[in-house]
A and B are shown apart, each in its own frame.
Chain A
Amino acid sequence: MSTYHKSMALTGEPPKSLSINQKIATLLGLSGLGILLLAAFNVNFPDKTLWLTLSLSAISIGIIWFSWDAYSNKLPGIKNDGVWFKSISSRGLWGWIAGLALTGFYIVLYFYPQYLGLVNDGDNKGVIGLFDPLSKLLSGNPASQWFVYGTLYTVAILAFGIKFLWKYRHNRYERLRTFSVMIFQTAFAFIIPEVMARLNGHKILDGGSLPYYDLKSIWPLNYYNFEGYRIKGFLSSGDIGFALLIFAILSIFVITPILTYKYGKRWYCSWVCGCGGLAETAGDSFRQLSDKSTKAWKIERWVVHSVVVFVTLMTTAVIYSYLGTDTSKYWLTKSSFLIGVAVLLSLVFGWAMIFKRDQLQKDAQYGAIGYFVIIIALIGFHFLSGEGQVFLLKSETLRKSYSFLIGSIFSGVIGTGFYPIFGSRVWCRFGCPMAAILGFQQKLFSRFRITTNGGQCISCGNCSTYCEMGIDVRAYAQKGENIVRSSCVGCGICSAVCPRGVLKLENGPLEGRIDSNQVLLGNDVDLMTLVNKK
């Protein structure tokens, strides 16, 4: 097995070799990126609209052409031939080059946008300048680095989405899910907010200005949604603004829990979310790189839940800092807000400890620690806060460190930049507080599970290998146990790659949801009864 040499060449032998078509398609795609790179180095393109169109078309057509050639002449089925032989998808040299390039891009994007040509007053230059015409067409404003990023992000989801649709053309679950993320990204994350910006100052908003709002981006993924300037924006924009604010709150407390109860967190993570959308499309070639060890699982639980504690405290502090103290002016004051947060958390914590104790096991201690950290911090807010600061810190400092550490470094630089090294869902697994909260509910209070089909598992390991969230699916399947894991995003790939039809994502009754067996179905009925004691 070690005799199959990895080669850094783009050619090589089947199944990793590239056809002539695939080589030309790769070249075309890279030439599209080349135009952007030239623009970034301030090569002046006279007709920006033309060159931007050329660039984005070359990228998209390159990806689509490559996929067409890769999949169209093959029969429908699983297409993982040579995944571990190809340098790009097995942490080979190309994987590392791609990882470094992406990481570099994110660092420039987040911290040095001036190198991309961002000019605060006046016309943009460089690659951001190249996007000005498109931005003006949509929102009427010049482009920013975020517009450039948003456009490329959408192009990636659409083009790689088409690749994914061909790759899984035999699987309707995968196809529908992919259509869904493509639509949500294009409409909700990209076009609608850009076009909504045209309404700013309009009388329909009472002359107010809405903040840029991707409707599907829910707190705490959208950690800045309740910052002071955004609340002012919402409240100054008439009924529409107010409705959006109400929607933002309902999303957290009503819509999300109901949908997660009915379908598991997959309704969000692999059908709606933009981060998930990118991971499932552009990141699909890297899903097998996630770490399946129990050690990684342990780290995951500590890290992701710490982020939840962090974002809760940060958001509470930020809101606390702009609330008043006078009940006659506004019903929500600093104190009533803190009490509200404490009561809500206590209710959730109490419910889990009392009714779901048997399902929590060791996780309970993590939960208890997190809960007490927050509650003590809240008390600290109350007694130790002064003007403009909470808990001896400026709320602004908390906000800035969250935004830097989690919002930029974790979700962007590491989360996406390291796709080719750690797999496509590093952010979703280790960092996303939204995924953690949905996961908490998925584990304790949801109809969703992955059912294991009796005794049919042959322990082959395809499911675990291709789980982007690093879940050792096989460990459950070979025990005849259903998979109920908080991190599962319900992408359905474990079920797709299973050669024996063992796994099915489904929503069913809470009773008997896990259904673990010592002796598997197919053996002596009496022995099963004796050993499984059911």
Chain B
Amino acid sequence: MEHIVIIGNGIAGVTAARHIRKLSDKKITIVSAESKYFFSRTALMYVYMGHMKFEHTQPYENNFWKKNRIELVEGYVSRVNTDEKVLQIDGGPNLNYDKLIIATGSKPNKFGWPGQDLNGVQGLYSKQDLELLEKNAPNNKVCKRAVIVGGGLIGIELAEMLRTRDIPVTFLVRETSFWNGVLPNGESQMINEHIREHHIDLRLGSSLKEINPDENGKVKSVTIAETGEEIKCDFVGLTAGVTPNIDFLKGSGIELGRGVKVNRMLETNIADVYAIGDCAEQQEPIGNRRAIEAVWYTGRMMGETLAQTICGNPTEYRPGHWFNSAKFLDIEYQTYGWVFSERRKKETEVHFHWRHPKEKICITIAFDRDSKTFLGINTFGIRMRHEIFDRWLNEKRDIDFVMEHLIDANFDPEFYKRFEPEIVSKYNTDFGKSITLKKKNLKRIFQIA
């Protein structure tokens, strides 16, 4: 019986394992140094905040793995020998494989800042990071001030987490506005305001020069590069992005770039070795996507796809329309299709932006200047229906069609205030149109004849 070994029990590896089990009787083993059972990484923040206990982040009951004959090995893979197809595991016997799936995810970026390895300085990615955070910042007596370096999704989550324990937070963001490499200006501005509303000391255009130690080798303060200001703190969170977690593969003969290099079949340069999830780097980026996509959903999709290949149905990784979501403190964010920031967008990408006069709600819709084709939408504080936007993108609808039917796409809970009339009216004003909003139609939404 063919033995499939998966290194890493995150969403990519576990999805691959589940789908291989559905499709075959192969022997499956998952190796992880992080935790025995699969948990949702994106939920770690809620454990620190007291919304959930760690066991609540585990999507499957503990007997699930035995029932589905998926073996779990706890240990750290220190060496991969692809000639003899064997893994060397710290703290455990060697493991032979017939096919190997590398799904080891990411690790926090460290850019060589002076003091980046001091006590009290850490990233936030793994279960161990969370345990360390409980030691470094259990309350506002041990941690009188925290400094977070890096304005991305993990940075803002870490700020939210620390604020639930009333720890004062200074948030250093290198860019002139939060996440504006990804978000268009209007949205990025709104999030700046919301961060400050939560009493977080947001410092835009500020980058880290160095982290200064006290006499015990623990963090004492940070120095800001632009101003030279020194900020006293007991904790520094490094959240300037992540990078593939692949150091253990050096010298294995598997081709590495920033991540594990894979082709569209998710195969590496070595036969029977595959890579999926955060740690995989596409040789050629797919469409507008980046070569490395450290996103939950892409990890899952690669797992779904690779399971097909491994079980005898060779399948290219061909992700559909881009989508993503996040939550910035109290504001939910969803995106479907492509909406680029001013920094990254092409000249032909036109934006329509609407923001609620009082509440923290806004949307941006991107369309093509010439063909008027709808390209994508960002929404903040309004939920949208994935199926509808996926369908409209497939059908290459134009912006007018989208505005006309906008109400069909709304996914807010029942009785919520609806903003479509205001949105369409602003669109009409901005672009000199006279679109009338159609009424919500269940038959259209659920595609019933």
Chain A residues proximal to chain B, CB less than 8 Å: 1, 3-4, 13-16, 75-78, 80-86, 170-173, 176, 293-294, 451, 453-456, 458-462, 464-465, 474-475, 478, 492, 495-497, 499-501, 504-506, 508-509, 511-512, 518-528, 531
Which residues of B118-148 are within 8 A (CB) of A? 130-131, 134-135, 138-141
Smallest Cβ distance from A289 to chain B, in angstroms?
Answer: 11
Contact (Cβ within 8 A) A454 B330: no
Contact partners of B190 in chain A: CB under 8 A: none
Which A residues are in CB contact (< 8 Å) with B56? 461, 464-465
For the complex, what is the distance from the CA of A524 to the CA of B309, rounded to whole Å? 14
Q: Are A501 and B50 in contact (CB under 8 A)?
A: no
- Asked whether any CB of chain A lies closer than 8 Å to the CB of B22, the reply is yes
Q: Which residues of chain A have C-beta atoms less than 8 A from B321's C-beta?
A: 522
B323 touches A14 (CB 8 A): no
29 contacts between A and B (CB under 8 A): A3-B134, A4-B134, A13-B138, A13-B141, A14-B140, A75-B198, A77-B330, A80-B49, A82-B50, A454-B385, A459-B42, A459-B43, A460-B57, A461-B57, A462-B52, A465-B51, A465-B52, A500-B334, A501-B332, A509-B443, A509-B446, A512-B446, A512-B448, A522-B301, A522-B320, A522-B321, A522-B323, A523-B301, A524-B319
Query: B446 near A504 (CB under 8 angstroms)?
Result: no
- From A451, A454, A465, A495, contact of B390 by CB (8 A): A454
Other 16 A-B pairs with CB < 8 A, given A456-B386, A506-B414: A75-B198, A75-B329, A76-B330, A84-B51, A85-B50, A173-B415, A456-B323, A459-B11, A462-B43, A462-B51, A504-B412, A508-B442, A520-B300, A520-B304, A521-B390, A523-B305
Does B46 interact with chain A (Cβ within 8 Å)? yes
CA distance A460 to B308 in the complex (A): 26
Q: Using known A-B contacts A462-B43, A465-B56, determine if residue A77 contacts B448 with beta carbons closer than 8 Å.
A: no
B200 shortest CB reach to chain A, Å: 12
Shortest beta-carbon distance from B36 to chain A in Å: 15
Whole-angstrom distance between the alpha carbons of A149 and B425 in the complex?
Answer: 54
CB distance B386 to A81 under 8 Å?
no
Chain A nearest Cβ from B263, distance in angstroms? 16
Neighbouring A residues of B47 by C-beta, 8 Å: 1
Contact of B50 among A16, A461, A475, A524 (CB under 8 A): A16
Tell whether, in the assembled complex, residue B50 and residue A508 are in contact, meaning their CB atoms are under 8 Å apart: no
> Are B390 and A522 touching (Cβ within 8 A)?
yes
CB distance from B167 to the nearest CB of A (A): 8
The reply to whether B330 and A82 form a contact with Cβ atoms under 8 Å apart is no
Smallest beta-carbon distance A274→chain B, Å: 22
Chain B residues with Cβ below 8 Å from A15 are 49-50, 164-166
Distance to closest chain B CB from A164 (angstroms)? 15
Smallest beta-carbon distance B16→chain A, Å: 12
CA distance A501 to B385 in the complex (A): 9
B91 within 8 Å of A by Cβ?
Answer: no
Give Cα A104–Cα B45 distance, bound, in whole angstroms: 38
In the complex the two chains form, what is the Cα distance from A293 to B62 in whole Å? Answer: 10
Closest to B413 in A: A173
CB of B319 within 8 A of CB of A523, answer yes
How distant is the Cα of A496 from the Cα of B317 in the complex, in angstroms? 34
Residues of A within 8 A of B412 (CB): 504
Q: CB < 8 Å: which of B42, B164, B197 contacts A82?
A: B164
**B-side interface size class:** 35 or more
- A501-B325 contact in complex given A14-B164, A508-B442, A512-B446, C-beta closer than 8 Å: yes
With A15-B49, A524-B318 in contact, do A171 and B323 touch (Cβ < 8 Å)?
A: no
Closest to A3 in B: B134
Q: How far is the CA of A504 from the CA of B323 in the complex (A)?
A: 18
Q: Which residues of B contact A464 (CB under 8 A)?
A: 56
Q: Is B439 part of the contact surface with A, judged by Cβ < 8 Å?
A: no
> Are A176 and B130 closer than 8 Å at their CB atoms?
no
| Contact code string B314-354 (vs A, CB < 8 Å = 1, else 0) | 01111111010111011010100000000000000000000
Bound Cα distance A173, B1 (Å):
54
A-contact 0/1 string along B149-185, CB 8 Å cutoff: 0000000000000001110000000000000000000
CA distance A521 to B385 in the complex (A): 11
Q: Which of B51, B315, B413 contacts A171 (CB 8 A)?
A: B413
Is the C-beta of B26 less than 8 angstroms from some C-beta in chain A? no
B319: chain A residues at CB < 8 Å are 522-524
In the bound complex, how far is the Cα of B54 from the Cα of A492, in angstroms? 24
Q: A83-B50, A460-B42 are in contact. Are A4 and B413 (CB under 8 A)?
A: no
Chain A residue contacts of B358, Cβ below 8 A: none
- Tell me which residues across on chain B come within 8 A of A75, comparing CB atoms: 197-198, 329-330
In the complex, A521→B296 CA distance in Å?
Answer: 13
Contact A84 B52 (CB under 8 A): yes
Complexed CA–CA distance, A460 and B50 (Å): 14
B140 surroundings in chain A (CB, below 8 A): 13-14
Closest CB-CB distance, A397 to chain B, in whole Å?
42
Q: Does B59 contact A (CB under 8 A)?
A: yes
Q: Are A81 and B164 interface neighbours, CB within 8 A?
A: yes
CB pair B334–A501 under 8 Å, yes or no, is yes
B325 / chain A contacts, CB cutoff of 8 Å: 456, 458, 500-501
Do A83 and B51 have beta carbons less than 8 Å apart? yes
A350 to B24, CA, bound (A): 39
Q: Does B436 contact A (CB under 8 A)?
A: no
Contact A461 B59 (CB under 8 A): yes
Complex: chain B residue closest to A293, CB-CB = B61
Which of B50, B383, B415 has the most CB atoms of chain A within a 10 A radius of its CB? B50
CA distance A459 to B38 in the complex (A): 11
| Chain A hits for B66, CB < 8 A | none
- Contact A501 B297, CB 8 Å, known A14-B164, A80-B51, A84-B53: no
Bound: A509/B442 CA distance, A:
8
Query: A521, B131: Cβ atoms under 8 Å?
Result: no
C-alpha gap A492/B334 in the complex (Å):
20
Nearest-CB residue, chain A, relative to B379: A501
Beyond A461-B40, A461-B43, is A453–B49 a contact (Cβ under 8 Å)? no
Contact partners of A505 in chain B: CB under 8 A: 413-414
B317: A residues at CB distance < 8 A? 524
Contact between chains at B304 and A455 (CB < 8 Å):
no
Task: Give min CB distance, B283 to chain A, whole Å.
Answer: 18
Check A524–B320 contact: CB distance below 8 A: yes
B166 contact set on A, CB distance < 8 A? 14-15
B411 near A: Cβ within 8 Å?
yes
Across the two chains, which residue of chain B brings its CB closest to A501? B383
Chain A residues within 8 Å of B25, by CB: none
Question: In the bound complex, what is the Cα–Cα distance between A290 and B442 (angstroms)?
Answer: 34
